[in-house]
A and B are shown apart, each in its own frame.
Chain A
Amino acid sequence: MVCQHLEEVYELYLVQALNPEEHARVAEHVERGCPNCLERLREAALCVCFLCLSAPPARPASKNKSQLIQHLRRSKSATRKTLA
């Protein structure tokens, strides 16, 4: 598979819309680190991010943030105990 054939599919690759075989072919090509494809993938990621941002934002409940911070503290504390 050469770069030109991938021009139209990078966004679809990133949102996992391709069939498994086509997805695997793109993944294999990307893994080779072709500079053109990495640049194109970056542009595709921007396009997908734009689509994600098109959903209206929503306000999280105030308890969610403190809950997350607690989880992170517990995780950090567990890591310290493991390393000690």
Chain B
Amino acid sequence: MGQLYGRFAPSLLGLALRTLGDQGAAEAVVEEVFLQLWNETRRVDLRGTSVAAQLLLMARTAAVRRLRSKKGLANSTVADSDRLQTCPAWLPSPEEIESLDRRRELLKKLMQQLPPPQRQTLDLVVFEGYTETEVAEKLGEPLGRVKSELRAGMRFLRHRLRAVLGTWSANI
């Protein structure tokens, strides 16, 4: 666990800090997710899945939960994600996450290519835990437009990631 901490804690702390803006709270989140992972590995076989993916998703959820509680907002769907994120069936592989990590500079450029409205809405949902409805209220935009921006932003990133990583999902 010490090795995992050394390897992943900086990314997790950066993520939590981006969401919470408070060093102490962010450090508490990092400790919380490592303890959670420790308990999970005793319950679920996580071999073949990416611990980094597990930790990133748990850290994001934990940080958003704290932020929303601090703002007095409900966390109605967050508990669901905790359970789902420990399901190994669909977690990315270690190789996929390593591939992302190796290409951080390139991926940073991808983010910069996002149109500003899409970047703004993605930042609000990913780092501040807003729902689509809450984003629309915050920005004073019609919900339909916010939904379009979010879907367009995710679609853009998804397609670029497919190109960069050479991965393609099953055709539906």
A35–B60 alpha-carbon span in the complex (Å): 26
A6–B167 alpha-carbon span in the complex (Å): 19
Q: Which residues of B contact A39 (CB under 8 A)?
A: 90, 169-170
A15–B35 CB distance below 8 A = no
Looking at the assembled complex, report how far the CB atom of A4 sits from the nearest CB atom of chain B, in whole angstroms.
5
Given contact pairs A8-B155, A46-B92, A72-B1, A30 touches B104 in the complex (Cβ within 8 A):
no
Q: Does B107 contact A (CB under 8 A)?
A: yes
Given contact pairs A20-B76, A30-B84, A45 touches B126 in the complex (Cβ within 8 A):
no
A16–B52 CB distance below 8 A = no
Number of A-B contacts (CB under 8 A): 172
Contact partner of A65 (CB less than 8 A), chosen from B2, B38, B56, B122, is B2
A12–B150 CB distance below 8 A = yes
Closest to B129 in A: A16
Interface range on chain B: under 10, 10 to 19, 20 to 34, or 35 or more? 35 or more
Closest to A45 in B: B92
Among B150-171, those with CB < 8 Å from A are: 150-151, 154-155, 157-158, 161-162, 165, 167, 169-170
Closest to B158 in A: A47
A45–B131 CB distance below 8 A = no
Given contact pairs A68-B5, A69-B2, A55 touches B17 in the complex (Cβ within 8 A):
yes
Looking at the assembled complex, report how far the CB atom of A80 sits from the nearest CB atom of chain B, in whole angstroms.
13
Q: Which residues of B contact A68 (CB under 8 A)?
A: 1, 5, 31, 34-35
Number of interface residues of A (CB under 8 A): 53
Closest to B104 in A: A53
Q: Which residues of B contact A3 (CB under 8 A)?
A: 172
A12–B154 CB distance below 8 A = yes
Q: Which residues of A contact B122 (CB under 8 A)?
A: 51
Looking at the assembled complex, report how far the CB atom of B12 sits from the nearest CB atom of chain A, in whole angstroms.
9
Other CB < 8 Å A-B pairs besides A15-B126, A49-B52, A53-B107, 19 of them?
A: A8-B151, A8-B154, A11-B154, A12-B151, A17-B125, A17-B132, A18-B132, A19-B133, A36-B172, A43-B161, A43-B167, A45-B90, A45-B92, A49-B97, A52-B56, A55-B15, A59-B10, A69-B2, A71-B35
- A residues at B contact (CB < 8 Å): 3-4, 6-9, 11-12, 14-20, 23, 27, 30, 33, 35-36, 38-61, 64-65, 67-69, 71-72, 75
